[in-house]
Amino acid sequence: MKTIAAAALVAGLAFSAQAMAEPVKIGMITTLSGGGAGLGIDIRDGFLLAIKESGNKDIKVIVEDDAQKPELAVQIADKMVQSEKVDILTGIVWSNLAMAVVPGVVGQGTFYLSTNAGPSALAGEKCNPNYFNVAYQNDNLHEAMGNYANTANYKKTFILAPNYPAGTDALTGFKRFYKGALAGELYTKVGQTDYATEIAQIRASGADSVYFFLPGGMGIAFMKQYSQSGISTPVMGPGFSFDQDVLGAIGDAALGVKNSSHWSKDLDNAANKKYVAAFKAEYKRLPSLYATQGYDTANLILSAVAKASVKDKDAFRAALKEAKFDSVRGKFKFGNNNHPIQDIYVREVIKEDGVLTNKIVATSFTDHQDAYAANCKM
């Protein structure tokens, strides 16, 4: 009788817990149209794959397109917080959109988890307990390539990036570790597709190397035009400019290019192998860095949901901070400013089974923390 009674009690508790399970509403604002659409599509697909794999029916994800417009992103965020009553916001690709949206959202007590944008201001003085970046701080991958440029013995690098927060963070990060001289430094227009003037300046500069950060369609256009120009000066970039979302469009001009990333499909851990296979099965393509950040963000949320109610802000925040999930990056932890402390690798673009992709060739940083954490008063 005791065994039956105990079994009934356990069953009753399980039923009660299931019955009381609270729905969690997640609002995803990301770029699904225009030149940057590929980035947002990958973030969305990686995120939704993790939710699907979890089988958690209590999580509802609402996805909307910001069309890469800050004012539209703000309108969508206001609607999601005020009308949709979402518990968590996520998904923004671009740092200028993040700066327009995040401070107001976290100021209202809503959690924001970044799947990509990592502007320096939100890592430093404007850090917030409700803001978590699951990707990186903007400078990080560029710092890694500045460090690599030294080991490659480059002495006169020409650097360029778009004129918006992530672009200025990018070149600041590169210069923070690069010890050589600059052959030139340019900030281009966001969304620019004609780089004839910039390429002419590179040609005339006497540079022994080029470092650029031009995400999405901007990088595709630059690399095609650079290749056609006949300049043989070697090119470097962050992983964003040479990842799976753009390599097919760039083509063989990308072969051999070194780039930095905190993730690569050849990272040797069980979670990553499972993820790469699952993404390929679900979407019939290899995952990109953006998709991977979406996937890790969703799994972080799932780990926190399993431990605490999202309505209990303090408990849920603590569960997020603990970051006890199987990251495809392997080890994962947050610093004091809720940004990752992580390894950053140097990759090389290769062709594998007829498909352009990347392989890790070196580790640039181990357990790297961003430069702004000291300014965060959390």
Phi, psi of 350 (to 5 degrees): -130, 175
Mean pLDDT of the chain: 93
Overall average pLDDT of the 21-48 stretch: 94
Overall average pLDDT of the 112-134 stretch: 97
Residue 6 has pLDDT above 60, yes or no: no
Residue 5 has pLDDT above 50, yes or no: no
Q: Where are the alpha helices (DSSP H) in the chain?
A: 2-19, 37-54, 70-82, 95-107, 120-123, 140-151, 165-177, 196-205, 217-229, 244-250, 270-283, 289-305, 313-322
pTM of the model: 0.90
- Residues 37 and 31 sit within 8 Å (Cβ to Cβ): yes
Residue 328 structure tokens: 């495809």
The predicted pLDDT at position 21 comes to 60
The predicted pLDDT at position 35 comes to 84
**Radius of gyration of the chain from its Cα atoms, rounded to whole angstroms:** 21
Overall average pLDDT of the 122-140 stretch: 97
The predicted pLDDT at position 216 comes to 84
- CA dihedral of 214, 291, 276, 274, whole degrees rounded to 10: 140
Nearest to 94 by CA among 243, 254, 240, 247: 240
The predicted pLDDT at position 9 comes to 45
313 falls in which pLDDT band (50, 70, 90)? very high
181 falls in which pLDDT band (50, 70, 90)? very high
150/152 Cα distance (integer angstroms): 5
> Each residue of 50-91: pLDDT tens digit?
999 999 999 999 999 999 999 999 999 999 999 999 999 999
Overall average pLDDT of the 171-183 stretch: 97
- Amino acid present at 48: L
- Residues 100 and 70 sit within 8 Å (Cβ to Cβ): yes
22/87 Cα distance (integer angstroms): 11
Residue 10 has pLDDT above 70, yes or no: no
104/274 Cα distance (integer angstroms): 37
Residue 25 has pLDDT above 60, yes or no: yes
146/185 Cα distance (integer angstroms): 14
SS3 59: strand
The predicted pLDDT at position 64 comes to 98
38/56 Cα distance (integer angstroms): 27
248 falls in which pLDDT band (50, 70, 90)? very high
